[in-house]
Amino acid sequence: MRPEIITFDCYGTLIDWNAGITGAFKEEACRLGIEGLDKSELLAAYHAAEPRVQAREYRPYREVLTLLEEEVAGLLGWPPPEASGYLAESLPSWPAFAETNEALERLVAAGYRLGILSNIDDDLLAGTRRHLTVRFDLLVTAQQVQSYKPAPVHFERAIEAIGGRRGGLLHIAQSYFHDIRTAAGMGISTLWVNRLGEDRPAGGPAPTAEVRDMTEAADWVEQIR
């Protein structure tokens, strides 16, 4: 069934999250005189620490990023940060994936309404949106709902925005942990942009479909009639 609105996770799906994280920590490593930054080790540390930090009591994402600077530094054996805030300062410059805007423009041209459901603060998302060339009809942030995915509150807010019609929502995301597992478990149609070629966890709910990037996502959606 043609969805009333298509929502997206932003970072990792539309925006190159890993490149942004790596670039910010690389600059900090240079400032500290640390050489030989291992990208895989850094990203593993970041993605292990972030859910732990977000699972605590709600705090703005700027504060989450500051805590992550400290936690990741500890995991990598770096000295504690002398100054904080470099992750939040860099975030609005994190680039979109090469195919993102073309794919979004195709969906708008096909008549779809679009939205973003993101674990972010409003002002940080506003900075990111300068990299995106389409208008979004719905924006749901962690700041607005005082909650972080994989909690279901973002999705509940999106369903509420379209009059409670759960079947009218299609959610597209890269993170199985943060998005696909929760949305699919709620009976929402989901498209997993599995950029990293990950295996679905055993027993986890299956997405409606799986693609490799946003171009394939737009191709899939265009087949809905």
Long-range contacts of 139-148 (CB under 8 A, 24+ apart): 139/115, 140/7, 140/115, 140/116, 142/58, 142/61, 142/118, 143/60, 143/61, 146/58, 147/58, 148/54, 148/55, 148/58, 148/119
Catalytic residue among 9, 16, 121, 179: 9
Dig out the tokens for 60 from the structure: 């703005």
Q: Which residue in the block uniquely carries the two structure tokens 């298509």?
A: 6
Chain-centroid distance of CA 102 in Å reads 19
**CA–CA separation, 28 and 91 (whole Å):** 14
Bridge pairing between strands 5-8 and 169-173:
parallel
Beta carbons of 138 and 116 less than 8 angstroms apart: yes
9 part of the active site: yes
**What is the spatial distance between Cα 119 and Cα 168, in angstroms, rounded to a whole number?**
22
List residues with catalytic annotation.
9
